[in-house]
Amino acid sequence: MNRTHRAIALALVAAVGVSGCRRTPETVATPTDTTVVPTETCDAACRQRTADSIAAANAERDRLAREAADRARASAIAAARNTLLATIYFDYDAFDIRGDARAALDAKLPILRANAGLQIRVAGHADERGSDQYNDALGQRRAASVRRYLTDNGIDAARIAIVSYGEQRPAMSGADENAWARNRRAEFEITAGGNNIVPPQ
Which chain residues interact with another protein by CB under 8 A?
A: 92-93, 121, 130-134, 136-141, 144, 147-148, 161-166, 168
Our CB check for another protein shows the closer of 53 and 183 to be 183
Our CB check for another protein shows the closer of 115 and 135 to be 135
Q: How far is CA 126 from the centre of its chain?
A: 31
The candidate with the shortest Cα–Cα distance to 128, out of 171, 163, 95, is 171
Closest separation between CB of residue 10 and another protein, Å?
A: 55
Would you give the end-to-end CA distance of the chain in angstroms?
24
Closest separation between CB of residue 133 and another protein, Å?
A: 4
Closest separation between CB of residue 129 and another protein, Å?
A: 8
Our CB check for another protein shows the closer of 133 and 153 to be 133
Helix (H, G, I), strand (E, B), or coil: what is residue 24? coil
Closest separation between CB of residue 193 and another protein, Å?
A: 17
Instruction: Give the contacts of 113 (CB within 8 A, at least 6 positions apart).
Output: 154, 155, 200
Our CB check for another protein shows the closer of 162 and 197 to be 162
Backbone angles phi and psi of 125, in degrees to 5: -130, 155
